[in-house]
Structure 1
Amino acid sequence: MTRLDTIRRYYDGCSTGDIELMRGTLTDDVVHYFLAPNPGSAPVRGREHLARYWRKVHRVIDARWIVDHIVEGADEAVIEWSMFWRPEGTPERVVTRGAEWFVFSGGLISEIRSYYQQRERSTELDGFGYAERGYSVPARESSTVHSGQEDYRA
């Protein structure tokens, strides 16, 4: 399995609240760091805690993450992602754009450093051609590298 495959599985688990799917991508001692002052910006430590954290987030804001772009190294990968979600009390979804640095150990994610600012409105690069470059957009919550609907059944 490639690093991209592992990251897609991780995000598909986050997007559906599937704890088992997330567990299968993480080391026991994984640490996820967040950019302050986002909601819940304290680091989340441990496979079980991180998986349950994302299940709760998914339930609260109906979040769906899509990998838009990846650059890979030996035991690391950096991605750009889009999170489509619903701010509390609103029927409309917004998109938050961000980037994350993943560190791998034994083929599993051991560290995530997350860079984004979550606002209750869409946040993205001004003037960047997301659709033209194959990134996900509000009318299409998928990208050229991540459909967001992978089938992991054996």
Structure 2
Amino acid sequence: MSHRDTIERYYRGCSTADVDLMLSTLHPDVVHYFLAPNTGTAPVRGGEHLARYWRKVAGLIDARWVVDHCLEGPDEAVIEWTMFWRPGGTGERIATRGAEWFTFAPDGRITEIRSYYQQRDRTTELDGFPYTERGYSTLDG
């Protein structure tokens, strides 16, 4: 299984609030770091804690994550992603775009996630970037 496959399984678990699916991808000592000043920017430590964290988030904001691009090395991967969500859990869906750096244990489970994004109550994208033309996920498709 590739690192991208593992990340996509992890995101499927995040999107569906499936704790067991997330746990199957996470090392028990995983640490997830967030870019300040997002809400709740303290690191989340431990597989159980991280899976429960995302289960709660998915329910609060009706979130769905998609991997748009991935570069892989032997024990790490860097991705660009899109999170489709609803501020406050209701209303019009928006897109937040970001990047994450993952590291992996020898058994293929995720040991560290470093997230780079700013969560706003409106769509956040690179200005002028041709998302559709490059095959990225969009609100329209």
For normalisation by structure 2, the TM-score amounts to 0.97
Q: Which amino acid aligns with 1:131?
A: T
Partner of 2:118: 117
Partner of 1:34: 34
Cα distance in 1, alignment partners of residues 3 and 89 from structure 2? 36
Compare 111-120 and 131-140 and name the one that shifted more.
131-140
Cα distance in 2, alignment partners of residues 38 and 54 from structure 1? 15
Cα distance in 1, alignment partners of residues 63 and 88 from structure 2? 12
Partner of 2:50: 50
Cα distance in 1, alignment partners of residues 62 and 89 from structure 2? 12
Partner of 1:139: 140
Cα distance in 2, alignment partners of residues 94 and 88 from structure 1? 11
Relative distance call for 1:55 and 1:77 in structure 2 (3 A) is: same
Cα distance in 2, alignment partners of residues 83 and 19 from structure 1? 18
Preserved CA contact (<8 Å) 2:19 2:55: yes
- Spell out the pairing of 1:54-69 with structure 2 (5 A cutoff): 54-69=54-69
Q: Give the match's secondary structure for 2:11.
A: helix
Relative distance call for 1:111 and 1:34 in structure 2 (3 A) is: same
- Where do 5+ consecutive residues of structure 1 fail to align? 141-154
- The structural deviation recorded for 1:90 is 4.4
Preserved CA contact (<8 Å) 2:61 2:90: no
Number of matched residues? Answer: 140
Partner of 2:24: 24
Relative distance call for 1:127 and 1:55 in structure 2 (3 A) is: same
- The structural deviation recorded for 1:91 is 1.0
- For residues 66-125 of structure 1, what are the alpha-carbon distances to aligned partners after superposition, in whole Å with 9 as ceiling and x for unaligned? 000001111000000000000017410110000000000020000000000000000000
- Where do 5+ consecutive residues of structure 2 fail to align? none
Q: Give the match's secondary structure for 1:133.
A: coil
Compare 14-23 and 84-93 and name the one that shifted more.
84-93
User: Would you identify which runs of 4 or more consecutive aligned residues in structure 1 move more than 3 Å?
Assistant: none
Cα distance in 1, alignment partners of residues 4 and 72 from structure 2? 8
- The structural deviation recorded for 1:62 is 0.3
Relative distance call for 1:135 and 1:89 in structure 2 (3 A) is: closer
| Aligned CA-pair RMSD | 0.8
Percent identity of equivalent pairs? 71
- The structural deviation recorded for 1:134 is 0.6
For normalisation by structure 1, the TM-score amounts to 0.89
Partner of 2:131: 130
